[in-house]
Amino acid sequence: MTHTISSDETTYIALADAVSPLPILTPPHPTLRQKARLVQPEDIPNIQAVLPSLFAAMYKAPGIGLAAPQVGISQRFLIIDLGQKEDSSIPPIIMINPEIIQESEEMAEREEGCLSLPSQYAAVVRPESIRVKWTTITGETREYEADGLFARCIQHEIDHLNGVLFVDHLSALRRNMILRRLSKKLKQS
Catalytically annotated residues: 157
DSSP 90: S
Can you count the helices (H) and strands (E) in the chain?
A: 4, 7
Helix (H) or strand (E) holding 125: strand 117-127
Residues 6+ apart with CB under 8 A from 38: 75, 76, 97
d(CA 145, CA 17): 31
Helix (H) or strand (E) holding 160: helix 148-161
Measured between its terminal Cα atoms, the distance across the chain in Å is: 45
